[in-house]
Chain A
Amino acid sequence: MTNNLTLGIETSCDETAAAVVADDNTVLSSVVSSQVDLHARYGGVVPEVASRAHVTLVAPVVAQALVEAGVEPKDIDLVAATRGPGLVGSLLVGVSAAKALSLVWDKPFKGVNHLEAHLYSCFLEEPELELPLVVLLVSGGHTILVSMEEHLQYLILGETLDDAVGEAYDKVARYLGLGYPGGPAIDQLAVHGQNSIKFPRPMINEGYDFSFSGLKTSVINYVRQHPEARTEDIAASFQEAAVEVLATKTKRAAIQINAKGVCIGGGVAANSRLREAIFDICLEEDLHPFVPSRAYCTDNAAMVAAIGWRRFRQDGPDPLDLGADPNLRLPCLSLMP
């Protein structure tokens, strides 16, 4: 029996990506064209700039994904694209491209939830991960702690009440004059600093929700009051506070649901201190840690193709009148009190 091939397309923010995945998780190609240089001078992603770039990049990126996978359009069994959440103008480019290809190649189309795709990025590299899992999804737009008891069934344990953790990184980095994107800049600087400043750990012992706005403000206030403080130390101390909150809650969740393993996903999962901390808590609690390679933490289309195939197998195709939904939520069983 031949494999089922899915072409995935991802354009929810500032990466134009396409990938070909066989069955649930064998990645044949994964092409990402980052626009980070286009946005750096504006200190953040400019939606209109991103949308314009996606229009010119989407077909070349798809072409490259097919070539790298060594497959022809006739071999493709499903065309999947991220339909939300994200920037609406950007999402529409990928959804329109995928529906057009689905139409002209006469293949089914599946719209994908970007958050669900991130949850499944860990299975791309470790298909045999055992459930239940606790997944910490951390990016510039989201901070969500999820329990995955069964495939395609999730419980949201907690999420951020204000800023996403990546947003806090970007804002602190901007204040420190480190440029955009802020996450990697703080991560690199923190290596050379001391965790010498005691910043607050918001809500660290309360439930599973997060709050990073207060932490961000207290860092900014500290810098105002102590202009002489070393930027390296501020970066290290801020990072330590943010990571401690994330790791502590993840650990508590893993114990509560009796998880077999812990995964992280999303752009902030590329952060080296967070990756260390996840390994540490898993070692302490005898859990299986899974930290995807950096390429699968940040936005990519392999995870879109993978979840697209799983969803297609369970729920069937989507109609061609499906649009983008910038506020799409993670499909979940119910919210925990």
Chain B
Amino acid sequence: MIILGIESATSQVGCAIGGHEGVLASVHSSRGRRHAENLAPQIDFVRKQARINLDEISVVAVDVGPGLYTGLRVGVATAISVAFGLGVPMIGVSSLDLLAYPVRHCTKLIVAAIDARRGEIFHANYRQVPGGVQRVSNPSVGNPEDVAAELLAHGHEALMVGDGAIRFADIFANLRGVEAAEPSMAYPSAASLVQLAHAKALREDFVKPSDLKPVYLRKPDAVEMDQQNRKHV
């Protein structure tokens, strides 16, 4: 089984190829938000480095968000098209799961946080379980202050991971028992995506390309305003 993983939900874009042998090759870039320009050449580069022909790919995995809309869409549109073009199934994985997975050896509460712009973060909480992590709260979007207040109220010792934790480091810095993961783990990695997708693929936890949907967590502004206006009338 060969899995192509595509990850572009943050200001980083990347992809990886792997399978039963683990990750065979991966690449990431994060300069200048050139997701649409970089992704297709990256896929070509990675499959050549892994010495895999594209028609050997049996599953396309993709980070479905939440994250930055434009980058996310470049990744999802590319992944859907690769899967459709090859006639293979897909696996969607949350960007927050991808952040928590590499710090699975931490026994504290794990808080994955992605910078959502406009002073907000996408976030979810995780606990260590044998072999990985388990999500213990629903992915949501909100103020970092509210997340900090929640941690304070419950007196949780926690590890914060993701570019949201770094962006709002000053808000979380004063919380007792709360620390931030190192910056090298601030973005979801395509290698983690391939590893998580491999476990799902063994369970045949697939979706059809036509059923894969990005997770935005926010409605478009115009839709939000329209619904509020209707409520007030």
Which residues of A are interface residues toward B (Cβ below 8 A)?
41-42, 46, 48-49, 51-52, 54-56, 58-60, 62-63, 73, 88-89, 92-93, 95-106, 319-324
**A–B pairs, 25, beta carbons within 8 Å:** A46-B223, A48-B220, A49-B220, A55-B80, A58-B77, A58-B80, A59-B80, A60-B210, A62-B84, A89-B73, A92-B73, A92-B74, A93-B74, A96-B36, A96-B77, A96-B81, A99-B78, A100-B77, A100-B81, A101-B84, A101-B85, A103-B82, A320-B41, A322-B37, A323-B36
Contacts A52-B216, A60-B210, A104-B82; is A95 near B226 (CB within 8 Å)?
Answer: no
Is B77 touching A55 in the complex (CB atoms < 8 A)? yes
Per-residue contact bits, chain B 36-77, to A (CB 8 Å; 1 contact, 0 not): 111111011000000000110000000000000110011011
> Which residues of B have CB within 8 Å of A88?
70
Q: Complex Cα distance A41/B213, Å?
A: 23
Is A323 touching B70 in the complex (CB atoms < 8 A)? no
Is B43 touching A63 in the complex (CB atoms < 8 A)? no
Is A96 touching B85 in the complex (CB atoms < 8 A)? no
Is A51 touching B40 in the complex (CB atoms < 8 A)? no
> Which residues of B have CB within 8 Å of A73?
85
Within 8 Å of chain A (Cβ to Cβ): is B222? Answer: yes
Nearest A residue to B44 via CB reads: A103
Is B223 touching A97 in the complex (CB atoms < 8 A)? no
> Which residues of A have CB within 8 Å of B221?
48
> Which residues of A have CB within 8 Å of B84?
59, 62-63, 101
Per-residue contact bits, chain B 209-233, to A (CB 8 Å; 1 contact, 0 not): 1100110100011110010000000
Q: Which of B81, B216, B221, B222 has the most CB of A within 10 A?
A: B81
> Which residues of A have CB within 8 Å of B79?
100
Please report the total number of B residues contacting A with Cβ < 8 Å. 35
- What is the minimal beta-carbon distance from B227 to any residue of chain A, in angstroms? 10
> Which residues of A have CB within 8 Å of B41?
319-321
Q: Complex Cα distance A323/B77, Å?
A: 14
- What is the minimal beta-carbon distance from B15 to any residue of chain A, in angstroms? 11
Is B69 touching A51 in the complex (CB atoms < 8 A)? yes
- What is the minimal beta-carbon distance from B63 to any residue of chain A, in angstroms? 14
Nearest A residue to B38 via CB reads: A321
Q: Complex Cα distance A105/B82, Å?
A: 9
Is B44 touching A320 in the complex (CB atoms < 8 A)? yes
Q: Complex Cα distance A228/B81, Å?
A: 55
Q: Complex Cα distance A104/B79, Å?
A: 11
Q: Complex Cα distance A42/B224, Å?
A: 11
Q: Which of A46, A51, A58, A97 has the most CB of B within 10 A?
A: A97
Nearest B residue to A105 via CB reads: B85
- What is the minimal beta-carbon distance from A286 to any residue of chain B, in angstroms? 48
> Which residues of B have CB within 8 Å of A320?
40-41, 44
- What is the minimal beta-carbon distance from B71 to any residue of chain A, in angstroms? 9
Q: Complex Cα distance A241/B227, Å?
A: 38
Is B73 touching A93 in the complex (CB atoms < 8 A)? yes
The 3 nearest A-B residue pairs measured at CB: A100-B81, A48-B220, A104-B85
Is A96 touching B74 in the complex (CB atoms < 8 A)? yes
Within 8 Å of chain A (Cβ to Cβ): is B86? Answer: yes
Q: Complex Cα distance A73/B86, Å?
A: 10
Within 8 Å of chain A (Cβ to Cβ): is B105? Answer: no
Nearest B residue to A49 via CB reads: B220
- What is the minimal beta-carbon distance from B160 to any residue of chain A, in angstroms? 29
Nearest A residue to B218 via CB reads: A48
- What is the minimal beta-carbon distance from A317 to any residue of chain B, in angstroms? 13
List 12 extra interface pairs beyond A99-B78, A104-B85, CB under 8 A: A51-B70, A55-B77, A55-B80, A62-B81, A92-B36, A95-B36, A97-B77, A101-B81, A104-B54, A104-B82, A321-B40, A324-B36
Q: Complex Cα distance A52/B221, Å?
A: 13
Nearest B residue to A63 via CB reads: B84
Within 8 Å of chain A (Cβ to Cβ): is B34? Answer: yes
Q: Complex Cα distance A319/B40, Å?
A: 10
> Which residues of A have CB within 8 Å of B78?
96-97, 99-100
> Which residues of B have CB within 8 Å of A58?
77, 80-81
Nearest A residue to B222 via CB reads: A46
Q: Complex Cα distance A56/B210, Å?
A: 7
Is A41 touching B44 in the complex (CB atoms < 8 A)? no
Is A323 touching B80 in the complex (CB atoms < 8 A)? no
- What is the minimal beta-carbon distance from B29 to any residue of chain A, in angstroms? 11
Q: Complex Cα distance A170/B174, Å?
A: 54
Q: Complex Cα distance A82/B82, Å?
A: 19
